[in-house]
Amino acid sequence: MSVEEVIFRRQPITKTDMRLLEDGNDLNDALLDFFLKLGQALLPPKGEEPNLHPLSSLFYQKLTGSAAKTGEEAWENIQRWTLRIPGGIFKPPMIAMPVNETFLDEKKKPCGQHWWLALIVAAKNAGVKKSKDQKESSKRDSFPSDPDSSSYLLCVDSMKRRLREFSGANIVDPDARGGGVKIDLKGGGSSSSNAAAPGARAGSNNATLSGYNTFIPKVYKEGSLCKYSLEITKVEQAGHRIWVNFDVQGDGSLGPLQSPKQCAKLLLDGKKQISATDMGLQVNNNTSGGRVQYKGLLEFLMDSRDDARQLTFLYGEGWKPLPLTFDGFALSKFQKEVARYTQGMMRKEWERDRKGDKKAIKAFDKTQIRAVAVDAPQQENLNDCGVFVLENCLNLLTLGRTYPRKILEDPLRDSLKWVGQIEVRHRRRRLLQCVQLLFDMKAKYGTGDLEELFSKDAQLKRDVIECLTDLPSEDEAEPSAKRQRV
């Protein structure tokens, strides 16, 4: 039996793929590649070349195959693939590389996979000769930067994994031990019930250690004469979930403790308070007439666009707030590995592109392609990571060839609005409608070649563009979450 397909420039999708656009399913590589190609062809402003070239969803997997240890070695795996890019890999202002990352549990076994976007911006600028001051500025990660000499690898990740762990006055390196406290909480991970749970790791590398050379001291309840204390021992984030390990105890002289789940809150960026949604306890001893203690883990759920760089833990009346500062822009070990492979690959591409020009080849400094983790909104479920990658690319394609310069000036500027859960939820629904429409047109005209369908039905192209670009309605979007296309 032949498989029903719709094909756009040699990239097919089937009716089986269409089911993956329904809620609760992970986007596969076929849908991702199909819509990235379609967006590249249809969405750039009229009269402009695309500002972004999407690489295949299998590109990074191919790049790092064959046990390649460096980016230069890895380039041998994909050197023919990049020849297909019109004008070469340095012509497009941006290169979008979808990365599929494998999460490992505490026993180093795969427990889920996760898509995120590695966005290469102005890689050719790594071949621009820089002054000594420019090089030093680059090493310091200072912003704003010179858009004519800057080059970036932006890690646009909708499920950040960050960890800050404390022991007395020392920050504990999570690499030295296994995962977090073994407490069962409801929740789960990307494509797995465990991938986003406390202690889940990214790839063969542990989550980012986002700490400073300070520690969070104990705080004491007012009027307790230091006999009632509260200490935070670990804070961990995966996407929109935050877990806080705590230990609150007292000698019983002021009676029982307040229930952590009922009174504990997180203050986000000094503006918004969120309450705990779940709790797991190692110690539950709160009877009157003796020593009291709660020790365990609290789970908090943020909205997609909440800012988690500055957290403050609030326990209740009579307790001082505890600041929990995360480095929101720290790279994970896996992201650093992606950057290392990408830098080496681009070095080899430059050598091929400038073949015979020894001076130009020598000028290329791969370390000037600076890896930066942007402050992207976080997904609120376990299955939308692929749609986040796709929607960010579709949005960028509509912004024209001048937009990459804004990124180069400051990749961390707040005005660079990466897409959030509301837009992604809307786009998933519209993509499903789009694919249904394409198969209806295939049945009507007797061909699955999308370019041929466009030539037969002019309205179809307009309908497809609308499916890829329209914004959520007022009912779908909160005012603070609306995105305007520039």
Q: pLDDT, tens digit, for every residue of 419-464?
A: 999 999 999 999 999 999 999 999 999 999 999 999 999 999 999 9
Alpha-carbon distance of 353 to 75, in angstroms, equals 14
Q: Where are the domains of the chain?
A: 5-158+332-481, 161-325
Rg from Cα positions in the chain: 25
**Residue 190 has what pLDDT?**
41
Beta-carbon count within 10 A of 368 CB: 21
Residues (pLDDT < 50) of the chain are: 1, 169-194, 201-213, 479-486
Contact yes or no for 481/422 (Cβ under 8 A): yes
Helix (H) or strand (E) holding 297, with range, is strand 292-301
**Residue 81 has what pLDDT?**
97
Contact yes or no for 424/377 (Cβ under 8 A): no
Query: Is 3.20.20.20 the CATH number for 5-158+332-481?
Result: no
DSSP-derived pairing of the beta strands 151-156 and 369-373: parallel
Q: How many CA atoms does the CB half-sphere of 27 hold within 13 Å?
A: 30
Alpha-carbon distance of 10 to 313, in angstroms, equals 53
Q: pLDDT, tens digit, for every residue of 376-425?
A: 999 999 899 999 999 999 999 999 999 999 999 999 998 898 999 999 99
Question: What DSSP string describes 219-276?
Answer: EE-TTSTT-EEEEEEEEEEETTEEEEEEEEEE-STT-PPPPHHHH-EEEETTTEEEEE
Q: Closest Cα to residue 411, out of 160, 148, 152, 98? A: 152
* CB-based contacts of 475, cutoff 8 Å, min separation 6: none
Alpha-carbon distance of 184 to 174, in angstroms, equals 20
**Residue 217 has what pLDDT?**
64
- The one-letter amino acid code at 278 reads D
**Residue 206 has what pLDDT?**
43
Residues facing 213 on adjacent strands: none
Contact yes or no for 51/68 (Cβ under 8 A): no
**Residue 180 has what pLDDT?**
32
**Residue 262 has what pLDDT?**
95
**Residue 351 has what pLDDT?**
97
The DSSP call for residue 189 is B
What class, spelled out in words, does domain 161-325 have in CATH?
Answer: mainly beta
Residues 329-363, buried b or exposed e (16+ Cβ, 10 A)? bbbbbbbebbbbbbbbbbbbbbeebbeeeeeebee
